[in-house]
Chain A
Amino acid sequence: MAAMVVKTPSTIDELLACMKDADENTYYISGGTDFMIKLRKNRIYSGTIIDLKGIPALRYIKKENGIIRIGGNTTFTEIVGNKIMQKHAACVVQAASQIGSTQIRNAATIGGNVANAFAGADSIPALMVLDAKVVVLKSDGESYEKDMDGIVLGAGQNSLGHDEVIVEIQIPVLDEGYRTAFAKIGSRSRVTIAKLNMAAVVKCRGDGSTIEEARIVLGALGPKAFRSGKAEEVLVGRTISKDLCMAFQNALTAQVDESIASRSSWAYKREAVKGLADEVFDKLFQDVLTGGRA
């Protein structure tokens, strides 16, 4: 009976060599935190594991020409502690800081979290809302870019072929007028899988009082995260106020009604989403609401 083979390439060239032999029984891992569970649950006894974590060249965060490039092997702990991320991608940092436990964040990587395509994944809405691009390397050494929506197809489904791996995530740097935030609700405060999560990007007018642009992405409300037009509409062109927060809450409740009205979790989520809205709104506009910046 075929056994399990583990390959740990340490360079891109070695990786490409491994990828050439890849088939439907090849599993790419980076942090391996989701895979370990899958391995046991799905009783995977044979195949090839290609462990990307041995490639230091895929572990970086840098800002070049208006783009933040994050190597696929970058851990969530590294993201949380990174100055570039803190400055330009607050929602990703907030999402990363709430993923699993400290031990999980030390091992789990951004490339792995995207590829795993879990419906309740925390990094996915945060990356989607920032219009992140995913760089995919093919076994022939070529690579291509795709947006998040193109990579994440559904619950646990990605678009990657078995000779393709995520090597980089690119986030366009937003100018000063933009604000971002992320929040989640689980069944306890830490080490919890999201029942709901949400990421937001807004652009405010120069004086900070009116919202010019808004992007809202909701996770755990369906097979994959999605943008909520209802929630965005209600924000654009409006002045930041407590009343607007309520309107935002109601829009999200309406969004939940539209998305999962037939599910047993609906009654709870349509209420709980208000808490999510409140938290995101507060993170985005606390200074405005308390008079700090406006």
Chain B
Amino acid sequence: MKENLKYVGKTIPMHDIEEKVRGKIKYAGDMELPGMLHAKLLLSDVAHGKIKKIDTSKAEALKGVVKIFTTKNSPDRLYNSHKWFVGLDVLKDERLFTDYVKFVGDRIAAVVAKDRHTAERAVELIEVEYEELPPVTDPVEALHCPGYHMARKEIKCGQVDEMMEKAVYIFEDKIETPKVHHAAMETHVCVAAPDPGGNITIWTPCQVIFQVRLLVAEVLNMPLNRIRVIKAPMGGSFGGKGQPILEPVCAFLAQATGAPVQLLMDRRESIIGTRTRTATLGTVKTAVDQHGNILARDIHMLVDTGAYLTNGEAVATAMGKKAFRLYRIINQRYIADVVYTNSPIGGACRGYGSPQIHVLSEINMDHVARGLAMDPAELRLKNLVHPFDKDPTGGPPLGNARIIDCVEQGMKVFRWKARWSQPKGGGRFVRGVGMACATHGNGYYGAYQDFITMSLRMTEDGGLCLNSGIHDLGCGTVTTIKQIVAEVLDVPLDKIMIPEGDTLVSPFDVAGTQASRVTFVCGGCAMKTAELLKAKFVSYAAKILGCHPQDVVMEEGFVWSRTKENDKYAYGEMVIRIQTRYQDDISVTYTYASPANPGVYAANFVEVEIDTYTGLVRVVDVLAVHDIGKAINPGFVEGQIQGAIQMGIGFALTEEIKVDAQGRITGDRFSKYHIINAPDMPDVKVLLIENGEEYGPFGAKSVGEISTCAIAPAIVNAINHALDVHITSLPVTPEKIIGALQEKKHREMEREIF
């Protein structure tokens, strides 16, 4: 690894931050194209039923309405919005519009009108007559309903049943996580415009331009190269804009009306009608010896994918894999059953199952510790994976896995021992601490193809242009990649241009901003491509300078030979000389396939204060310790962690898209769906363990998803520790806390009686 880093490891502001804070940036919702029409969706207000009759005549009569689309005048080709590459074989169950609704929020129709206001009014005038069917909203019930049980996934190693039979100590838990909303500031939006030649251009804040292109091509039965997808500035995604939701609909509306169309959702539509974090109901049994060594673990996850399958199976598998990569467990079985319910659709959501599996494993680990009267941090230290351990199921090696360092250093900085054993006090407000660990990945290597092509060119004025299909989701991808390229070529950031993805002009990228792959895989590609460009430049420069390539020095935008210190050329000058003398361009196009998928790790330590009268919980202190390998931009890393903690506190305490037995949704607006706001945010301290990862650019690993995986169980563990209760259902609302305290009181009273 390079010793003195000039650009990597520095906090540098995001490339477009000024446009953002000045309100100058144009999001897709700000776009105006000549002749642009506005579309509004009609979403189902019953959870399950057939549409007997749909009358659009009143809506059509409204002045300004251009056209209304339902199943009667739109393609009915089935698709699966999770399909992110051509060869992926997935069950297709979605359609542009439906006449058989499966949840409150299902797409029935779209109105296209001259202005948004008219489109909104027209939607209200569409009359729908349903033949209602009984909805299934309980995943346990769904498991036994014909047509609702969609898949079973199993991952295992060793001998679980034998070990369970022999074990003396077995701790079992049933743990529940809710559906949650991503709560990006920008609701879902898309603009599509047809041209007279039959091509369609789509502007969308998306995570995978080539996936959008693929889905639109499938649904509209068009060739891939007739569809151009341009990634629009992202007003927040967190996985919520990972799957193409509006894009196929909007592209169709544009094609059918022959005009540009903007399709925008309001908050309620974004909450109920897009994607949610997949809800889970898990059972976990952990067998340990009296010293706390894990002998075996048996996990069953019931995965509620909602009304359509999308990535239900992939999430079920992804979360299962994590269970084998945090602790050294040689006998383990993970089984997941994926079910439909008549409720909002599951999809990608920061962590892709990882937060759910860690809620399960980490609450259970504290249960084990309590049962053995052990310090839960000590229990973990006994069992955590070590650097360079293998995955017992044959998955990619864990790499430089530094979770033990995370826990040990975190315990010191947090003063864990002292705070853990502190008496909790018996007043109205009770404080307690808790901790949890988590692991996540770095891309798709080991599961799917994971590669990206980048084109890097040095311009005649010594600048750089890196062309690729990257997507900055507001996390600093562009600047991060710039820092990597800058470091390799010693070019200041303001001389580097890195546009985001555009399927017409960007080289192919297989997976977009998914799977925590961007810094590790795309950053790895940028580094490799820059190194190749450097090699090319140096070899020509050596010829021009009349020296050995080893003697060529590139520094601060100048190139010279060590043997002739006074004969310096600006990079641009050298580019021109190479062009004139050798008729070659200083550009490189390289396809980089990820060579590894190491684990990334985190330990979170928290302190909570609980109002035992009202059940309200305040998280008062958080320490997030991350095995990051190397932080390319520490400010971005901290930003990711601060935001992820905010998201995780909501997951732990307040956020839930609740669906009742009739399939009606509560928590479908921000007055009822509470995310954690500034007054309730604790001071989050970040501690980075930077020990380098062999295959990461400058040793870097991912942070975007892992950062939200340990916080929720750490909070639940702190609550359970502080109150001496055993809550295992998220979110831990005031109602659940009061319920648990009441139950505890009854138990104590009964104990006194007998």
Contacts and interface: CB of A to CB of B under 8 A. Distances in A.
B676 A188 contact: yes
A268 B676 contact: no
A193 B674 CA distance: 10
Interface residues of B, number: 27
B124 A268 contact: no
B87 interface: no
A278 interface: yes
A43 interface: yes
Nearest to A271: B738
A118 to B, nearest CB: 11
A156 to B, nearest CB: 14
Nearest to B650: A188
B680 A187 contact: no
B679 A190 contact: yes
Contact of A275 (B614, B654, B671): B614
A193 B667 CA distance: 13
B616 A189 contact: yes
Nearest to A1: B63
Interface string B729-746: 000011100110110000
A90 to B, nearest CB: 21
Interface string A1-16: 1000000000000000
Contacts of A40: 266
Interface string A182-224: 0001011111110000000000000000000000000000000
Given A190-B679, A275-B428, A185 B614 contact: yes
Given A188-B676, A189-B679, A43 B613 contact: no
Contact of B615 (A43, A193, A272, A278): A272
Contacts of B92: none
Indicate the member of B120, B618, B733, B735 with the most A CB atoms within 10 Å.
B735
A33 to B, nearest CB: 12
A272 B734 contact: yes
Contacts of A193: 671
B121 interface: yes
Contact of A188 (B428, B615, B654): B654
Contact of B734 (A1, A268, A274, A276): A268
Given A189-B616, A272-B734, A43 B120 contact: yes
A192 B428 CA distance: 22
A187 B613 contact: no
A267 interface: yes
Contacts of A37: 671
B13 to A, nearest CB: 27
B677 interface: yes
Nearest to B121: A45
Contacts of B742: 271
A43 B677 CA distance: 29
A278 B428 contact: yes
Contacts of A43: 120-121, 124
B276 to A, nearest CB: 19
A274 B739 contact: no
B391 to A, nearest CB: 40
Interface string B655-696: 000000000000000010010110110000000000000000
Contacts of A190: 677, 679-680
Given A43-B124, A268-B734, A275 B680 contact: no
B375 interface: no
B63 to A, nearest CB: 7
A275 B614 CA distance: 6
Nearest to B614: A275
B615 A268 contact: yes
B738 A278 contact: no
B218 interface: no
B611 interface: yes
Contacts of A275: 428, 611, 613-614
Interface in A45-62: 45
B738 A188 contact: no
Given A43-B124, A45-B121, A188 B677 contact: yes
A193 B121 CA distance: 29
Nearest to B62: A1
A190 B738 CA distance: 20
Given A192-B674, A275-B428, A185 B124 contact: no
Nearest to B63: A1
B734 A189 contact: no
Contacts of B733: 187
Contacts of B124: 43
Contact of B674 (A45, A188, A267, A274): A188
A37 B268 CA distance: 12
Given A1-B63, A43-B124, A187-B654, A271 B613 contact: yes
Contacts of A272: 613-615, 734, 738
Contacts of B679: 188-191
The listed residue with most B CB atoms (<10 A of its CB), out of A45, A192, A268, A278, is A268
Contacts of A1: 63
Contacts of A271: 613, 615, 738, 741-742
Interface string A24-45: 0000000000000100100101
B233 to A, nearest CB: 25
A278 B428 CA distance: 9
A225 to B, nearest CB: 19
Contact of A278 (B117, B266, B613, B735): B613
A3 B613 CA distance: 51
A72 B121 CA distance: 33
A276 B614 CA distance: 8
A276 B613 CA distance: 8
Interface in A246-275: 267-268, 271-272, 274-275
A15 to B, nearest CB: 28
Interface in B260-276: 266
Nearest to A249: B613
Contacts of B739: 267-268
Interface string A220-256: 0000000000000000000000000000000000000
A191 B428 contact: no
Nearest to B735: A268
A189 B680 contact: yes
Interface string B513-535: 00000000000000000000000
Contact of B738 (A187, A192, A268, A276): A268
A268 to B, nearest CB: 4
Contacts of B741: 271
Interface string B585-616: 00000000000000000000000000101111
Interface in B198-233: none
A187 B611 CA distance: 12
B677 A191 contact: yes
Interface string B491-502: 000000000000
A68 B676 CA distance: 37
A210 B613 CA distance: 26
A43 B119 CA distance: 12
Contacts of A188: 616, 654, 674, 676-677, 679-680
Contacts of B738: 267-268, 271-272
Interface in B48-96: 63
Contact of A187 (B120, B428, B734): B734
Nearest to A275: B613
Chain A CB within 10 A, most for which of B614, B654, B738, B739: B614
Interface in B697-754: 733-735, 738-739, 741-742
Given A268-B734, A271-B615, 7 more contacts: A45-B121, A185-B614, A189-B616, A189-B679, A190-B680, A191-B679, A267-B739
9 contacts: A37-B671, A188-B616, A188-B676, A189-B618, A190-B680, A191-B679, A271-B738, A272-B614, A278-B613
Which 7 A-B residue pairings sit nearest by Cβ, starting from the closest? A275-B613, A275-B614, A190-B679, A268-B735, A272-B614, A271-B738, A274-B613
Interface of A: 1, 37, 40, 43, 45, 185, 187-193, 267-268, 271-272, 274-276, 278
